[in-house]
Structure 1
Amino acid sequence: MKQKTVIASALISATLLFAQTATAQNMVWKEQTIQLKQTPQKLAVYELSALDTLNALGIQAQVIPDTSFPNQLNVYNGNIATKAGTLFEPDVTVLSAQKPDLIVLGGRSQAKADTLQGIAPVLNLSPDTDNLMPDLKARTELFADLFGKQAQAAKRLQIIDTKQAKLKAQTKGKTALMLFTNKGNFMPHAEGERFGYVYEFSGLKSVLPVVPPKDPNAPATPRPEAGSPEALAAKAKADARLQAAVAAQPDYVIVLDRGAVNTNEYTALEEWKKNPILNQSKAKIILVDANAWYLVGPGLSNTEFMLDELIKGTQH
């Protein structure tokens, strides 16, 4: 908790530093200092949580990736913005022709930052889900200060705080298991894993122990070949972990169906019925919106949507 408080303070300080130097048009975010000639008039945005926050504040992007935009972002499925590349691979030629004032990247596109620096200032606004709420507030306030949307941001953040408090009041003393599923494979996520932020976010207690952070300098482990002894051993280990989680009889199982991303074809519940381990569970199942949780992530509007899902799912 002490570490998270320190991180939260650093994020807030970064936003305040930008506010103090706005007249010089220096945007400071974590280790990044972005020099802007003026308040950006043309935005290129490749991080969907950032696009979601901008959209919630009434700020439109002019250049976006060519992808499907779900829920609150569906306005971008029309022709209101130029499509330039993908979420992973921005189109350098189109971006150069569009001449944006600021390019916002994130998790899927952040590796392209150096490639795009020559076109326009680049901001890496990848969400930090280990510190989801303070990070959301800091990222929102960064845009609010840049575009003069402080009042709108404060109002929306207050709504989120109120909804999170309501959710945590509902979940007090309750346990949960977060399951990421894809094509019949059910993978538990504990705190410290990709979707393990759901526990602190919701107030639910994980039935699995915390997973320590990975060593960023450790070499990548190759995926074992299907049917190999290594693959069979990995599956046995995964089944044992799932068995242990189900045996703990969590009050809720939150299910994120990867196969439904961009397709809205949810098969997780049918696959659940075929799984002998999961059939032992007496938990209430909360099937969350795959696009919201997997594709968009913690933007200003989408975070409220995610809270609404969990509030509804945990109502007594």
Structure 2
Amino acid sequence: MLKKVVIVSSLITAAISLSACQSDTIQITQNDNTITLLKAPEKVVVMDFGVLDTLDAFGLNNTVVGLPKQNIPDYLNQYTSSDAINTGTMKEPDFEAITETKPDLIIISPRLSSSIDKLSQIAPVINMPVSNKDYFSSVKSNITLLGQVTNNQDKAAQNIAQLEQKIAEAKQVTTESPVNAIVALHNNGRLMLTNQSTYAALIHDVLGVKRAVAILPLLTKPQPGERPKPTLVDNQYIQTLKPGIVFVIDRSEAIGQKAMADDFFDTKILEQTGTKVVHLTADLWYLSGAGVESTNLQIDEVTTALK
């Protein structure tokens, strides 16, 4: 098993080629760093559900030997009872359990960036981030990279083509619809505007749902480590803005805590403003995304809300 430190970000263009000396390996060149990986790894630990659903779409479910089994999204519930070992959570890996699987490859998301050094002592690590600035390009880049690493380039290309077609069809719906929208994240009783998140990037920038709130530049540059003050989405905010749709992603529900109350908004205000509240599937949106299967499901939810 190769134990060289391997950190691959698919947002940065990576030239991938077969090793000239060993037909069972591939080389990934990223900037000045060339890494050798096993071609078509047989044992993979997957710490990201979007990656898991892409491998599932490739028909590689049997190669997954470890995954975070706590809070598996419903659309991947077949993995709850799979033979794969529980390898912790998406933020806290179980290093001992991962070691026991003797993986050929570990695939993570940026949630585990701080654990890369320790994980890379067990097996090569691929990090799969997505960008809120060019969301679908990064999704395609991730799918392409997974296709190359697993020797499933044709399946990767086929799935990307299908997603592109589905997005084109969704844009016909959003172009014809006059409805504008906001995207908001619920956490512990508070609903906050998430206008520049990857969720908003998919809904507005990729699918073309009209923004009820424009992206405005920050008037002051935040200090290092300082987060901008959140915009709370409440009755007064709805009354002032009058968005056509509020897409809600419920973090609390996704992680097994108390979901957003059904009476969170005053129904009279919603009727006066003509606002519809759409609760997106919490575990699909908050715990997953950017994979083949998750992106398909997310597109369906958004377009259904506009019909």
**Bin of the TM-score, shorter chain as denominator length:** 0.7 to 0.9
Q: Distance in 2 between matches of 1:194 and 1:44?
A: 24
Matches within 5 A, 1:39-58: 39-58=40-59
Check conservation: 2:75, 2:284, Cα contact below 8 A: no
Q: Deviations over 1:144-166 (max 9, x none)?
A: 12223233223322222222122
Q: Call closer, same or farther: CA 1:180–1:78 in 2, change over 3 Å.
A: same
- Aligned-pair CA distance for 1:193: 3.7
Q: Deviations over 1:80-99 (max 9, x none)?
A: 20112222121222222322
Matches within 5 A, 1:77-226: 77-172=80-175, 173-190=178-195, 192-193=196-197, 195-197=199-201, 198-212=203-217, 218-221=223-226
Q: Give, as a single letter, the amino acid of the residue that structure 2 aligns with 1:115.
A: K
Match of 2:245 among 239, 243, 252: 252
- 1:72 maps to 75
Q: Deviations over 1:105-141 (max 9, x none)?
A: 1122221001111111111112223322111111111
Work out the percentage of aligned pairs sharing the same amino acid.
27
Match of 2:279 among 269, 287, 293: 287
Q: Call closer, same or farther: CA 1:273–1:33 in 2, change over 3 Å.
A: farther
- Aligned-pair CA distance for 1:39: 3.0
For residue 177 of structure 1, give the secondary structure of its aligned residue in structure 2.
Answer: strand
Q: Call closer, same or farther: CA 1:29–1:131 in 2, change over 3 Å.
A: farther
- Aligned-pair CA distance for 1:13: 4.5
Q: Distance in 1 between matches of 2:138 and 2:169?
A: 20
Check conservation: 2:132, 2:197, Cα contact below 8 A: no
TM-score by length of 2: 0.81
User: Structure 1 stretches (4+) deviating beyond 3 angstroms?
Assistant: 10-13, 19-24, 28-34, 211-218, 237-240, 242-246, 262-269, 276-281
- Aligned-pair CA distance for 1:20: 5.8
Q: Distance in 1 between matches of 2:94 and 2:32?
A: 26
RMSD of aligned Cα (Å)? 3.2
- Aligned-pair CA distance for 1:259: 2.4
Check conservation: 1:182, 1:259, Cα contact below 8 A: yes
For residue 62 of structure 1, give the secondary structure of its aligned residue in structure 2.
Answer: strand
Deviates more, 1:301-310 or 1:146-155: 146-155
Q: How many residues align?
A: 290
Q: Distance in 1 between matches of 2:305 and 2:184?
A: 15
- Aligned-pair CA distance for 1:201: 2.5
Q: Distance in 1 between matches of 2:238 and 2:33?
A: 41
- Aligned-pair CA distance for 1:168: 1.5
- Aligned-pair CA distance for 1:254: 1.0
Check conservation: 1:105, 1:124, Cα contact below 8 A: yes
Check conservation: 2:11, 2:130, Cα contact below 8 A: no
Q: Call closer, same or farther: CA 1:303–1:32 in 2, change over 3 Å.
A: farther
For residue 109 of structure 1, give the secondary structure of its aligned residue in structure 2.
Answer: helix
- Aligned-pair CA distance for 1:72: 3.0
Check conservation: 1:193, 1:211, Cα contact below 8 A: no
Q: Call closer, same or farther: CA 1:13–1:184 in 2, change over 3 Å.
A: closer
For residue 129 of structure 1, give the secondary structure of its aligned residue in structure 2.
Answer: coil
Higher helix share: 1
Structure 1 unaligned segments of length 5 or more: list them.
1-9, 224-233
Q: Distance in 2 between matches of 1:123 and 1:214?
A: 37
Q: Distance in 2 between matches of 1:100 and 1:175?
A: 46
For residue 286 of structure 2, give the secondary structure of its aligned residue in structure 1.
Answer: helix
- 2:263 maps to 270
